[in-house]
Amino acid sequence: MMAWTDRHCRYFHRLLSSQALLYTEMVTTGALVHGDVARHLQHDAREHPVALQLGGSEPADLAYSARLGEQWGYDEINLNCGCPSERVQRGAFGACLMAEPQLVADCVRAMMDVVSVPVTVKHRIGVDRTESYDFVRDFVGAVSEAGCRTFIVHARNAWLKGLSPKENRELPPLRYELVHRLKREFPRLTICINGGITGSEQVAQQLQTLDGVMIGREAYHNPWWLAQWDEQFFHRPARAALTREAVEEQMTDYMAREAKLHGTPWSAIARHMLGLRHGLPGSRHWRQVWSDHRLKALPARDVMALAHETVQNSPSECATA
């Protein structure tokens, strides 16, 4: 979710679900050791619970970054062992770390030594054409011995050569049965599943066996789905008066605050909520207004008013636009 789940996206998603655990986009250790820490770790207190996802392979750098994450108030530190991009591979981290379970164990141990919040690992079920269950079982076994108790498993292999990151999210076949087998073999670990899950029925089915479900692209492109989660999966009452219009208005207020405090243009925030009216008549016209950079000089509230006016005056269109 690089360049997707930034702090503005997470603020938006928190308006929809008060209970879901949110994850940052992956932040590399190099960005924290040598870069602008505040830019990468700044977040709104209303985002909690929120986990910091790190990318790296040097135990000392990961320990330093994890300590920073805890100091900045993150509720969990997550090590990414699943990203297959070539840039990440050149840094010798991400999915290629699955081939070095003892190094991952050292990284986890180093982070756990310096923080009190949970340290978790996100990974794939295999690398390249290795489809043996033994591979992922041995990986989880070695890393759990270092103290990691939670594993978020993307139920696809990562093909490190020949596929783009987008293709790696779609072409390697999903094998949910391997994740379920991990839970049977490691019943005391928290095993969560990720990959290809797009509806509440699928989530409910996975939760019959597993401890959690991570949703990525579907939550981003169809964010209103999150508005059901508190009631469906956390057994909390739905938020009173939660409507798309109310969420849009709160986001518009947030855009105004961010512009005043940090000079953030509304377009940098609005891009994350373009799926809010997914499936509703007029949604295409609404998106066009909120993504129109020619309007960037207007205050966000004026853009919202224009978006609503455009929807009201737009010709009827398919409800799945």
* One-letter amino acid of 159: W
Strand 190-194 and strand 212-214: pairing? Answer: parallel
* Residue entry with tokens 């790296």: 56
Per residue in 80-134, pLDDT (tens digit) is 998 876 655 555 667 889 999 999 999 999 999 999 999 999 999 999 888 899 9
pLDDT per residue rounded down to tens, the chain (321 residues): 677 899 999 999 999 999 999 999 999 999 999 999 999 999 999 999 999 999 999 999 999 999 999 999 999 999 999 887 665 555 566 788 999 999 999 999 999 999 999 999 999 999 988 889 999 999 999 999 999 999 999 999 988 776 676 776 677 899 999 999 999 999 999 999 999 999 999 999 999 999 999 999 999 999 999 999 999 999 998 777 799 999 999 999 999 999 999 999 999 999 999 999 999 999 999 999 999 999 999 999 999 999 999 999 876 554 444
Task: Count each helix (H run) and each strand (E run) in the chain, helices first.
Answer: 16, 8
Give phi and psi for 101, each to the nearest 5: -60, -35
Report the pLDDT value the prediction gives residue 168, as an integer from 0 to 100: 67
- Is-catalytic flag, 81? no
Domains of the chain, CATH where assigned: 7-233 (3.20.20.70), 244-313 (1.20.120)
Residue 219's alpha-carbon distances to 2, 17, 70, 229, in angstroms, are: 14, 11, 26, 11
Per residue in 140-154, pLDDT (tens digit) is 999 999 999 999 999
Task: Give the Cα separation of 202 and 230 in Å (integer).
Answer: 16
Exposure string of 205-233, with b = 16+ CB inside 10 Å and e = fewer, is: ebeeebebbbbbebbbebbbbbbebbeeb
Whole-structure pTM value: 0.92
Q: Residue 53: enclosing H or E segment and its boundaries?
A: strand 50-55
Do residues 108 and 148 touch, judged by C-beta distance below 8 A? yes
Q: Which of 9, 81, 83, 107 is catalytic?
A: 83
